[in-house]
Structure 1
Amino acid sequence: MSVDQQGREAQEAREADKRFNRGMMVRLMVIVAVMFGFGYALVPLYKKICDITGINVVTTRELHGGSVKNTQVDKSRTVTVEFDSNARGPFAFRPVKNSMEVHPGEMMTIVYEVANGQSRDISAQAIPSYAPKQATQYFKKLECFCFKQQTLKANEAREMPVVFVIDPALPKDVKSITLSYTFFEVGTPVAQAPEGQLSAPAPAGKGS
């Protein structure tokens, strides 16, 4: 094979590599453009799907009894939600508001305040209850400090939100709901009986 023929073959190989590289670059640019366009279209597509399926879209949240925007709210009804608190331990515990007016389907936030005035850490758990009882299944909590045990550091004060929504299926005759929390200390040692009184003395036998 002559030197000229080898040079031509090398040149043809380089040209083939260039064509391949250009083709690959074009394909990659097309893929990037398609992915960008798909990502850009996802937002209106998601909103459209939410509109069709009735899925609510949460946009903002305001603490201390504020509301979260929601697309499905029954504004023809108003339910009074009252908040109660009970502390079973060495801490202060209360809601920042005693009540609020809520439309069924409207997401709302209430904040409870707790303060540990002790010089030691405290673990506590909140147990909710509802009145009337029939409202329990219609009171939907999306976020709540009662979902898990809370640990308060020594002298710590904390705000704990509850995000909830009243199911629009709530019976029409229910005009008010009371949400009550009992916040009690857990993991406290059990007091031991004094030595010698661990069990009741046996009754004396007859004739003793």
Structure 2
Amino acid sequence: MNPENRRLLGKLLVIAVAMFGFGYALIPVYRHICEALGINVLTQKDGTVAPPQNTQVDRTRSITVELDSNVQGTLRFRPTTNSVTVHPGEMVTVVYEVVNSQGRTVNAQAVPSYAPQSAMPHFKKVECFCFKQQTLQAHEAKQMPVMFYIDPQLPREVKTITLSYTFIEVAGLAQSPAAGGKL
């Protein structure tokens, strides 16, 4: 091997070792910088892991959400609890129960309403059975969740929100077991 190639090989080895050392030292250096600046800190000073906090939850106030149900048709429909107390920004799940006591399949749709009306734009549903039609087989019961949060921008004078669903049987889509077709 000629001397020029030997020098080039030596330089490349030094560069490779320096790159490895830099990559190896990068993680603890990054962690120390983050701790010093107070960003992206997952461990507390005593070494325990801090649980993540939702900083968008306004714990200085509580809103009572009253749950109501109405039904048009032959279904039984109700919330499993009458009310919940939530902090604005907090994710909450409530459950409604519907029972088809008929001997036939029923298609139905839930229509929500809110009181006061000013709360409507601040009531944010993430998951809801009202987003699509529900098909209930003969004598079937379902537990249906509603996952929501209340926008912290809700006016401070609003202390109570009523969430009401009217569960409406969709005409012409239900099937009779005897007929096997649409009514």
Cα drift, residue 130 of structure 1: 0.2
In structure 1, give the amino acid aligned to 2:95.
V
Query: Where do 5+ consecutive residues of structure 2 fail to align?
Result: 1-38, 41-52, 174-183
Match of 2:153 in 1: 169
Match of 2:119 in 1: 135
Matches of 2:127 and 2:102, distance apart in 1: 27
Which of 134, 145, 154 is the matching residue for 1:150? 134
- 1:136 alignment partner, SS class: helix
Which of 118, 122, 134 is the matching residue for 2:102? 118
1:93 aligns with 2:77: yes
Matches of 2:159 and 2:101, distance apart in 1: 38
Is the Cα–Cα contact under 8 Å of residues 104 and 168 in structure 1 kept in the other structure? yes
Residues 132-186 of structure 1 show CA distances to partners (whole Å, capped at 9, x for unaligned) of 0000000000000000000000000000000000000000000000000000100
Matches of 1:70 and 1:155, distance apart in 2: 42
Match of 2:170 in 1: 186
Cα drift, residue 187 of structure 1: 2.3
RMSD, aligned α-carbons? 2.0
Equivalences, count:
125
Cα drift, residue 70 of structure 1: 4.0
Residues 99-148 of structure 1 show CA distances to partners (whole Å, capped at 9, x for unaligned) of 01100000000000000001100000000000000000000000000000
Q: TM-score of the superposition, structure 2-length normalised?
A: 0.65
Residues 73-123 of structure 1 show CA distances to partners (whole Å, capped at 9, x for unaligned) of 100010000000001111100000100110000000000000000110000
Cα drift, residue 71 of structure 1: 4.3
- 1:134 alignment partner, SS class: helix
**Structure with more relative contact order (C-alpha pairs < 8 Å, separation 6 or more):** 2
Identity of aligned residues (%): 63
Matches of 2:103 and 2:136, distance apart in 1: 11
Query: Where do 5+ consecutive residues of structure 1 fail to align?
Result: 1-46, 49-68, 190-208
1:105 aligns with 2:89: yes
